[in-house]
Amino acid sequence: MSGGGVASRLNNLAHPQFLDEELSAMVHTTASYDTCVTAHAYTIRAMRHMINNGVLGIEHGYFLDKDLAELMAAKGIYLTPTLVTHDAMATPPYDQFLNEDCSKKKCSRSRFGLERSESCLRS
C-alpha cells in the first residue's frame, strides 16, 4: 500500500507508507523474479511516489488525472480501478465488513473514482 485505505479510520489516503529505499528494494527484488510491483494507491501524490520508484501497476487510482494517466500510458504502467469491489461490498455478507465511518469513506471514494476513471478513459 502506498497510501491508506478505506478499511481503517486511522489510515489517511494521502500518507505515504514506504520510503524510496524500501520501494527500490521491492522493485529490484520482484524484477529478479521476472515479475513487477503493483501498488494500492488512491491519490496523485501516492501514485507519483510509486511511479517514480519503478512500480508498474496501480490499484484503485481513484484520483487519477489526465496528466498522470498520460504519464502512466507513456511508461506502460497499468491501472486496475477495482470499482467492482465497492459494489460487492454493498451486498451481503460483505456489507457488514466496514464500520459506518469507513463505509462513508468508501462510498465517497467509489463515486469519485468512477467519475474520474470514466473521464480518463475518454481522454
What's the pLDDT tens digit per position in 26-60?
A: 999 999 999 999 998 888 999 999 999 999 999 98
As a whole number, mean pLDDT of residues 15-22 equals 87
Structural domain of 92? 20-122
Q: d(Cα 109, Cα 62) in Å, to the nearest integer?
A: 7
- At residue 25, φ and ψ (nearest 5 deg) are -65, -40
Does residue 6 belong to any structural domain of this protein?
Answer: no
Does residue 10 belong to any structural domain of this protein?
Answer: no
Percent share of the chain, pLDDT over 70:
59
Does residue 27 belong to any structural domain of this protein?
Answer: yes
Does residue 15 belong to any structural domain of this protein?
Answer: no
- List the grid coordinates of 83: 470499482
Q: Residue 121's pLDDT is what?
A: 60
> Model-level pTM greater than 0.75?
no
Calculate the alpha carbon distances from 44 to 68, 101, 116 in Å.
8, 23, 12
